[in-house]
Homo-oligomer: A and B are copies of this chain.
Amino acid sequence: MLRVLNKEDARERILGASIDLFSRKGFAAARVSEIADCAGVNKALIYYYFKSKEDILDTLLGSIISHVSSASTEFIDTYIVPMVKDGRLDIVGDRFEFSDSEAMGYFQANMAKHYEKLVDYLLQNRAIVRILMSESLRSGKHGSSLFRVMELMDKNPGNPIYRSLHAADEDFEYNEDTVFFKFFFSWIPLISIAAYYDEYKEKNLLSDENMKELTLRSLEILVKGAQDRHFVVS
């Protein structure tokens, strides 16, 4: 019933209302008529802009998946591939061997920046992340949307990241344990922090500041642990 009537055009308002309702009630339980009410538009207008309720979902999830995918790809192409080509980084299995501590420092700094940007993006778009997570638990079109990001770790030669890394360094190979750990203990927590952000914050009476710090501090622990196991200066 909450009407959001400002100058942003109807299509945007429909998307906004959908994000709100899908994230709170779940896609299946959200009603198109509620979206219309909440967006302050006529129900039929929704079908003027979108083919179906599902089309709205696709639009929403598509945007987030492509953003995250392209951010990952960009990081690899901008930092990893050049360093491998320069000889400052050598990948052996899933170990990153740097030529010297300066190279390692450079890499770590940029990776930290990349992570922070990712965290910011996910937190800012946490309602959509929540929808993504919810839908990833249902069989069907978006059933494996959470995995699609992990597919960037597939040994599949159709995977652009694998191709880049493999082309840059023939020794590169994904390790089963690493992939598993990264997915369930790094990616899933990150996604979950975004998805459960508001509930956690409210339940524990925390500020946005607190949440951000807790998130980054936790990631730091995790990343440091991983680096201790995988980063080497030769």
Residues of A within 8 A of B (CB): 24-26, 28-29, 130, 133-134, 136-140, 143-144, 146-147, 176-177, 179-181, 183-185, 188-189, 192-193, 195-196, 199-200, 203-204, 210, 214, 217-218, 221-222, 225
Contact = CB atoms under 8 A, between A and B. Distances in A.
26 contacts: A24-B139, A25-B139, A26-B28, A26-B134, A130-B137, A133-B137, A134-B134, A134-B137, A137-B137, A144-B199, A144-B203, A146-B196, A147-B196, A147-B203, A176-B204, A177-B214, A177-B217, A180-B200, A180-B218, A181-B218, A184-B189, A184-B193, A184-B196, A189-B189, A221-B225, A225-B225
A233 B13 CA distance: 59
Contact of A185 (B196, B199, B222): B222
Nearest to A213: B177
Nearest to A133: B137
A222 B143 CA distance: 28
A203 to B, nearest CB: 6
A217 B146 CA distance: 22
B24 A177 contact: no
Contact of A147 (B138, B179, B193, B199): B199
Contacts of A133: 137
Nearest to A151: B203
Contacts of A221: 181, 225
A48 to B, nearest CB: 11
A196 B145 CA distance: 12
A195 B192 CA distance: 13
